[in-house]
Amino acid sequence: MKIYITSIFVDDQDKAEKFYTEVLRFTVKNNVPLGEHRWLTVVSGDDLNGPELLLEPSDHGAVKPYRDALVADGIPAHSFQVIDLDKERERRGQHDVKFVVEPMDAGPVRMAVFDDSCGNLIQLVEMKGT
């Protein structure tokens, strides 16, 4: 068994598509119109056949209180692994990405957390010793 698709709630699919492709450098895998929304998935540019991230519209009434609580407590909605955290921090800074936790040591990893501008906090993780 492996992860095929996972989702993240976003306020605006167009804005999220731009952020996740232009800023994070993911690649659109699926973009299927579904009424006022789309089945919009992205994948890592380094693994085009890897797990897909569904940029899910946040219309459902349960989403806002859930996301607000996560953000208020500083809990990331997702965690993405990177090879060089400092390099990724520098790249994202060039796009004015707001980091709420700067790169730091956290046991066996180095980590940082940023705001994806679509209603979520995202954690970046670099494995130490790899």
Q: What tens digit of pLDDT does each residue of 103-112 get?
A: 999 999 999 9
- pLDDT for the residue 109: 96
Is the Cα torsion angle 19, 21, 22, 24 positive or negative in sign?
positive
**Residues of 28-67 as b/e, b for ≥16 C-beta within 10 angstroms?**
ebeeeeeeeebebbbbbeeeeeeebbbbbbbeeeebeeeb
Topology at the third CATH level for domain 5-127: 2,3-Dihydroxybiphenyl 1,2-Dioxygenase; domain 1 (3.10.180)
Looking at residues 81-103, what average pLDDT do you find?
95
- pLDDT for the residue 129: 79
Record the pTM: 0.93
pLDDT cut 70: percent of the chain above it: 99
Domain boundaries, the chain: 5-127
